[in-house]
Amino acid sequence: MAFTMGITYSTIEIVDCLVSGIGLQTGRTLYERLLDVTPSGVPRIRRHCVRSEAEFWLCLGNIESECESGWKALVHIEAHADKRGLEVPNPGSSAGSIVPWNSLVDHLRAINVASDFNLGVFIAACEGIEALRPMTIKKPAPYMFLVAPTAPIPAGELETAERNFYDQILSGTDLNTAFARLPGTFKSFLAERFFAIVYARVLKKQSFGRRRIERVNSLVKMVLPDDAAPEKLHNVRGMAKHFSRPDRERFEAAQRAYLPGGVSYDFDELVEVARTGKID
């Protein structure tokens, strides 16, 4: 199954949480390079130097407000991180404040909603892929794509990954080509692919073969006693079989909850994948 989700950007917002003068300033390097390769000013390139947790949340709030007014953002976050969350500067302390991944994802979700589901996110931080852990299709997607390392990564390798990715993005290539230029230490995530995988697994578990029969039997047992009259049993089994079939309305309701803007594949295609194969 191919994923051809179209996403466009009018601004790249670099949220730089690295302390000035300490260590390599990869956020500044990226900012200056992107300015060099976008002399026309399209897309707009901005760098926000965050110096406290309050500034971090204010920065994301301002990006959300701009998206509400029509800007389409790619948010790039430069920071240190671990499995607990992002580290942002803490004035007066050598130790930074930790922004939990759950809290970050909630704020990114607000930006994605404000931008009519057009947000892309690049987290240039060790363990950045932890931002996937709070993902669920029961809430609106927090981003349409995420790029992040899966483990600690040397600054030189990070700069190479950023250069390769943004060279592709700014040349107008598709996301899949840009993803392919990332090193093995990075993971790319597409929201519509995630939805397809999760929903196909649900269909495979509930709507086909032996598992469908088991589900039908389970539904019948929930409604009828073992000594139910044959006619009643026949009617209830018929309703259970109907309920266990792939249902377009349930699919569309789940899709609207997670990706209200739609997906690039249709229900019948997803049903066929769930029935016969796997999603690459």
Q: Please check whether residue 183 is in contact with residue 157, taking contact to mean a CB–CB distance below 8 angstroms.
A: yes
Length of the chain: 280
CB atoms within 10 A of CB 101: 22
| Sequence ranges of the domains in the chain | 11-190, 195-276
**How many Å apart are CA 266 and CA 235, to the nearest integer?**
32
Residues 6+ apart with CB under 8 A from 253: none
**How many Å apart are CA 261 and CA 91, to the nearest integer?**
41
Residue listed under structure tokens 């931008």: 115
What is the CATH architecture assignment of 11-190? 3-Layer(aba) Sandwich (3.40)
Model confidence band, residue 87 (pLDDT cutoffs 50, 70, 90): very high
Predicted local confidence at residue 205, as pLDDT? 81
Q: What is the pTM of this model?
A: 0.87
Model confidence band, residue 207 (pLDDT cutoffs 50, 70, 90): confident
Share above pLDDT 70 across residues of the chain, in percent, rounded to a whole number? 91
**How many Å apart are CA 175 and CA 7, to the nearest integer?**
9
Which of 82, 79, 94, 89 is CA-nearest to residue 26? 79
CB atoms within 10 A of CB 138: 7
Statement: residue 243 has pLDDT above 70 = no
Residues 6+ apart with CB under 8 A from 130: 81, 83, 85, 101
| Gap between the terminal Cα atoms of the chain | 7
Predicted local confidence at residue 15, as pLDDT? 97
pLDDT tens, position by position, 8-53: 899 999 999 987 656 668 889 999 999 999 878 889 999 999 999 9
Predicted local confidence at residue 235, as pLDDT? 75
What secondary structure does DSSP assign to 171-219, as a single string? TT--HHHHHHTS-TTEEEEEHHHHHHHHHHHHHHHHSSHHHHHHHHHHH
